[in-house]
Amino acid sequence: MFHYFVETLPHFLAYFAAAVALAIGFLLLYVMITPHREFSLIREGNSAAAAQLTGTFLGFTIPVAVVIGNSVSIPDMLLWGAVAALVQLIVFFVIARLIFKSISDRITERCVASGIFVGGMGLGIGILQAACMVP
């Protein structure tokens, strides 16, 4: 058993490092694309921004976790992770540009309902994505 652990530990570390890098890249890209500044708002105690970013991040990481369990290689995982990121960006675009054009302002104004809505939509779409990413 210990031999198996030692043998597979490098694979775990490689996948984990790639997944963390992908998650950091997604967060940085997401907060650059959204019109409001989530990290600044969260530092100021804005619960709406925290709910929005947390839900979106979970909506990204759940599909990535499923993909890690089913991928054949790290490049395969990274490609499907990029798909998960793109879908989350599209979710925000559809909500903020097509459905509720003022939702970003509402999050900035601390409207928790708006943050929960955006985060919840991201989480829900992420769960659906995860189910679809299983071979």
Counted domains in the chain: 1
pTM of the model: 0.93
- Residue whose token pair is 């694979």: 11
Residue 134, Cα to own-chain centre: how many angstroms? 18
135 falls in which pLDDT band (50, 70, 90)?
A: low
116 alpha carbon, distance to own chain's centre: 15
Q: Looking at residue 128, what is its pLDDT?
A: 97
What is the C-alpha to C-alpha distance for residues 63 and 69, in angstroms, rounded to an integer?
10
Query: 28 pLDDT exceeds 90?
Result: yes
pLDDT of residue 131: 95
The arithmetic mean of pLDDT across residues 11-40, rounded, is: 97
> Stretch 14-21: mean pLDDT, rounded?
98
Domain region containing 82 = 2-132
- Exposure class string for 81-112: b at 16+ Cβ within 10 A, else e: bebbbebbbebbeebbeeeeeebbebbbeebb
Residues 86-131 have pLDDT tens digits of 999 999 999 999 999 999 999 999 999 999 999 999 999 999 999 9
The neighbour count for residue 47, using CB atoms within 10 Å, is: 15
* Share of residues in the chain with pLDDT > 70 (%): 99
Give the contacts of 119 (CB within 8 A, at least 6 positions apart). 51, 52, 53, 54, 55, 56, 58, 59
> What is residue 134's predicted lDDT score, i.e. its pLDDT?
78
DSSP state of 44: T
Mean of the pLDDT values across residues 73-82?
96
**How far is Cα 21 from Cα 78, in angstroms, rounded to an integer?**
10
